[in-house]
Chain A
Amino acid sequence: MLLHGRLSELCIFLQAMFVFACCFSDIESGPIATSGSVQPNGDRFKLEGRAIVPGVKTQDWISSARVTVEGEEYIGFMRTDGSFVVNDVPSGSYVVEVISPGYKFEAVRVDITSKGKMRARLVNFIKTSEVIRQPYPLQLRSSGPHTYFMKRETWGWTDFLMNPMVLMMVLPLLIIVLLPKVVNTNDPEMRKEMEQSMNMLNPNPELPDVSEFMTKLFSGSKSSSNKAVGGSKASGRPAVKRR
């Protein structure tokens, strides 16, 4: 009981802390966002943010980058430390984008109220009123370089062999060639068994068979004995049929 009470107390305390922290951060960020963005010339505001390309020095990419607000309606340039400010923006809702030919950045929608309160959220063109808050001043992190190029189809043995068409051709061949060697066709019992099964499967023995022809061709060139040819004739069929 005691423990439980303590726990709930702790919970309440934590909650209170949390609420307090929220309030605190709200109080802190709210006035700064408003007071900091009001400009001397009346109802125009400034949009602030920072863009980061992980692993790349700012001087290597900022000279070709810029910030566009709603197309080219308002334009801002990158400072040497990667931060940016777009001045003279009236209230409204804008898509803010960092454009760089080298690196990808996600666009952000920024809403500015007529009093100059700022809010950043994810861009969603389909559900335009959906709000998923983003930090403001904007924190834009590049997700890496753009992929402009397709990979060439390179030719390698593994690609060639893994091709289904090739697999379909090569595997039966292997079986045709190798199976007669694996199964002892000289064993009379085996031969009988096979012939039986063959006859069951192939009701018309008169019909010429492709597999028969193939086995003849391949095993014929390998072994010179007549027996082996005869044996493979029998064994070839089930091998193919099994597949």
Chain B
Amino acid sequence: MKSSVKMAKLTSLFVILLSFFCISEAVFEDQVGKFDWRQQYVGKTLFAHFESNTQSSKKMFVATDKNIFASFNSRTGDLLWRHVDKTGPEGSIDILLLHGQDALMVVGDGRLLRSWDTNIGGLNWEAVLDTGSFQAACFVAIQDTVKLVAVLKKAAISLHYLSNGHQKWVENLPDSDAVQYQAVYSGGEEEVYVLGVVPNSHLTIIAYSLEDGEIIKQRSVEASWLSSIESSCVVVGQGVLMCVDPATLALYTLPIQAEETPEFSQILLQSLDLEVFPGFQPVLVSSQPHPARSPLSEFFLQLGPDHHVLLQLNADGYTIAPLRDFQPAFLVSFATTGKKTVAAVMTPKNETACAINLFSVDSGRRLLDTTVLFPLEPNGGKPHTLYVHAFLKKDDSVGYRVLVQTQDHALTFIQQPGRVVWTREEALADVVTMEMVDLPLTGTQAELEGEFGKKADGLFPMVLKRLSSQVTLLQAWLAHLWKLFYEARKPRSQVKNEVTIETLSRDEFNLQKMMVMVTASGKLFGIDSKSGSILWKHYLENVQPNAAFKLIVQRTTAHFPHPPQCTLLIKDKDTGLATLHVFNPIFGRKSHIALPALPRPILQSLLLPVIDQDYAKVLLLVDDQYKVTAFPSTKNVLQQLQEMASSIFFYLIRSDQGNLSGFRLRKDLSTERIWEVVLPTEVQKIVAVKGKRPNEHVHSQGRVMGDRSVLYKYLNPNLLAVVTESTDTHPERAFVGVFLVDGVTGRIIHEAVQRKARGPVHFVHSENWVVYEYWNTKSRRNEFSVLELFEGTELYNSTVFSSLDRPHLPQVLQQTYIFPSPITTMEATLTEKGITSRHLLVGLPSGAILSLPKMFLDPRRPEVVTEHSREENLIPYAPEMPIRTEWFINYNQTVARVKGIYTAPSGLESTCLVVAYGLDIYQTRVYPSKQFDVLKDDYDYVLISSVLFALFFATMISKRLAQVKLLNRAWR
């Protein structure tokens, strides 16, 4: 007992000493990219355009569902620049149009019109549009040059100059309450046409004069079958509106510009020998290569999921000629280069690949030597969209490159002849949760381990086995040496350390791990933490877009020969029903384990420290009737559960009812409620609840004070931090509450209310402290507050902590500081044994990740410096927290929209592995107390060895001199 206190004193002194030196922790310039990497993503592509139609053009532009407008280098797939707008509907990109150097974008449901200079990635201009939801937009040409852009809104149409964004005119649309205006068309004439529909009644065509916005003509056409122009109509040929009606199975054509009162002419699909796949809504695809000219008279009609037909509208304007039938064909697309327009069609080739071919649009003939292959991945998504970049080669033939987007948001860029140039896994732009798993031992290491595991079978075989394993080790070492020698002769650029699943093995200090990442699209990734290369991916189909995920490591790699096992709990947010996906985190393969049936919505899941005979930790799932399902649920497990039932407690949060309740497990796996805390929902709502991380170690039990006494920490492993926000958002009455609740007994240990404060609250709960951040509505600034809990100078029961036997409430210390920036997320560093001092990793909106020493968030920081506080190395209190750019662990490698920071201990006590994810993924290592357990990478071997040699020679020489002197003296 006494010795342990002494140890605690010593180590805490040690840590204090260390932290004293570590205040200036930062990255060195030569370490850039050595231990860290960043991957930038943009999200699911909504619009994609290629720069110009020459073979040498390298740029492509995408607008995504994450409100991002970005430019890629199409040769490498790297980002050239990226503009990250506000999240949510206010920043959503409605349309992206490209004309020459300018990219036109309507943002936020018709809120803003932006023009970008695509060359340098800057804004040309930004114009505020009138209110009203966005419908359509198109370029408008005056005398063959594109000068204007027309924006159609629900009740108005406006024309803007491309050069400066100024409005040419804006006109209200007539009768906009009844008529749904959905399309705007300009074919290079003096008018711009607006098409509207009164569903199942009639179609309205209005022609506006380009000059002053005057209505030139207004027609109404009977169309009782038409419900939406957007989904069933396109403009083809010389201004002919082409519609498809799935009910009558007919195409309808209508000349938009006709002078007299026009009428739809009907062409039955049957007359063209075409049949619609039952239950399929036919889709029309047309192309308008240049805004100053009318669209092509050729168009695609999709009749089924894998059936497309290329059709041509004849010059008379109402008869249609079929050009070519494509079946099977997944995707089709038009591409134009110069005067030539081609159609690209993707057809399935075999199980593992799709073929993409080009067809001449005029004749429907296949262009020779244009096949490229698109590889289909076994665990990937199906192709979803095809973007074709066609260009004229030097010999005037058409060359092309294709960008294929699959359902799992991956983008693949393919060049002729069928070479995949790059792939971008855009699903990683939305990582939901992740875990880091230790890599397995190598084959030889595992063999060695296995040798000790088995029971002895005689002395002689054992010796033989020992010898053989030694020989294999020697072999491996020789092979390694040979490889080193061989690679040393090669030029450095050729040496590639390709990481594959086969060569994966744990390194000496366990610094390289497997990052298992779960994305919102339902695609799982296994990423090597050292290089950032994706080692495996697995797309889970049928995952609802709003599903919640929880990743649980049930068995680590430590239990050879049992493979490691991860379980992903996927919960549908609407129904609450959950499914399990069990897989091997190293190889990504699905495990074939009998899964429990989960017919009822799952409320809570908890991982117990109980292990079954196969060393898998037991997962308990609590359903809405408070019944518990165990996974795995073998006899062994159930028996263990029965024995331990009385000591298994769990809690449930009902934030809609403001209810926090604790339960205990009964022997028959039913539950009983033992406590309940109600926070009235009229006043405040529960925002978040956090316990402590189960893999957290606290090394020192207390803190040594200046007078050599020990202040013991209150280390309650069952403590929950509950954060509430007031329902009243008025700046004077809003508040943020923090409750510390014991998860076993339901006892409220502490209650802190921050008046005139509102969320979003970010907080970290660890060891004996809670750090939370909120917005101070009165002073309009962000503030950090730290709560630290101490038992006092006496420990009640030092051997074991029990929530049930803890009569004294802890002493709570609190201090608050101003933080000069808003934050997006917060996490604390974590190390193997908890000896290293802690840092807080704070994600800032600028994309920087600040490593803030916990020393700065210490409620014992004194206002007046005394002898004791100086001895304890307490920093005097200062109201404003510093932000130094040297503390940014990711220097200029900013991580846009940081959503989460994951920290994991490594095999080295000094080192903590950090992964920040959001739009980008950034991985690095941090050393909160510097690298005290390994030689630093700037360790000067030359100096130390030269000093040693110098000393050695100095002794040699002086010895010799002494001998000579003695000899001389003897001669005298």
Contact = CB atoms under 8 A, between A and B. Distances in A.
Nearest to A87: B128
A128 interface: yes
Contacts of B130: 40-41
A231 to B, nearest CB: 18
A59 B818 CA distance: 36
B880 A64 contact: no
> Which of the listed residues B123, B781, B818 has the most CB atoms from chain A within 10 Å of its own CB?
B123
Interface string B866-902: 0000000000000110000110100111100000000
Given A63-B81, A80-B117, A93 B111 contact: no
A155 B940 CA distance: 9
A2 B846 CA distance: 64
A131 B119 CA distance: 41
Contact of A40 (B122, B128, B879): B128
Nearest to A78: B122
Nearest to B943: A155
A62 interface: yes
A125 B820 contact: yes
Nearest to B961: A221
A212 interface: no
Interface string A19-45: 000000000000000000001110000
Interface stretch (A68-76, A191-199, A200-208): A68-76
Contacts of B263: none
A58 interface: yes
Contacts of A4: none
Interface stretch (B22-30, B240-248, B358-366, B457-465): B22-30
B120 A62 contact: yes
A50 to B, nearest CB: 13
A74 B779 CA distance: 20
Given A128-B779, A149-B29, A150-B27, A58 B122 contact: yes
Interface string A227-239: 0000000000000
Nearest to B167: A40
> Which of the listed residues A68, A79, A155 has the most CB atoms from chain B within 10 Å of its own CB?
A79
Contacts of A102: 892
B780 interface: yes
Interface in A70-99: 70-72, 74-80, 84-85, 87-88, 93, 97, 99
Given A126-B879, A147-B885, A155-B940, A72 B126 contact: no
A149 B32 CA distance: 9
Contacts of A76: 126
B122 A79 contact: yes
Interface stretch (B83-91, B403-411, B542-550): B83-91
Nearest to B114: A77
B845 interface: yes
A192 B125 CA distance: 95
A80 B891 contact: no
A80 B124 contact: yes
Nearest to B32: A149
A224 interface: yes
B965 interface: yes
A241 interface: no
**A-side binding surface: helix, strand, loop or mixed?**
mixed
Contacts of A221: 961-962, 965
Interface in B811-863: 818, 820-822, 845-847
A152 B30 contact: yes
B123 A80 contact: yes
A101 interface: yes
Contacts of B291: none
A36 to B, nearest CB: 13
Contact of B81 (A39, A58, A64, A71): A64
Interface in B105-142: 111-112, 114, 117, 119-126, 128, 130-131
A94 B281 CA distance: 50
B968 interface: yes
A204 to B, nearest CB: 30
A24 B255 CA distance: 61
A39 B126 CA distance: 13
Contacts of B121: 62-63
Contacts of B123: 77-80, 84
Given A152-B28, A155-B940, 13 more contacts: A58-B122, A63-B120, A72-B822, A85-B126, A87-B112, A99-B845, A126-B879, A128-B781, A147-B886, A148-B886, A149-B27, A155-B943, A221-B965
Interface of B: 24, 26-30, 80-81, 83-87, 91, 111-112, 114, 117, 119-126, 128, 130-131, 779-781, 818, 820-822, 845-847, 879-880, 885-886, 888, 891-894, 938, 940, 943, 961-962, 965, 968
List 3 tightest A-B contacts by C-beta distance, closest first: A63-B121, A71-B822, A148-B891
14 contacts: A41-B128, A70-B822, A77-B123, A79-B124, A87-B112, A87-B126, A125-B880, A128-B781, A146-B885, A148-B27, A148-B892, A150-B886, A152-B30, A220-B965
Interface of A: 39-41, 46, 58-59, 62-64, 66, 68, 70-72, 74-80, 84-85, 87-88, 93, 97, 99, 101-102, 104, 123, 125-126, 128, 146-150, 152-153, 155, 220-221, 224
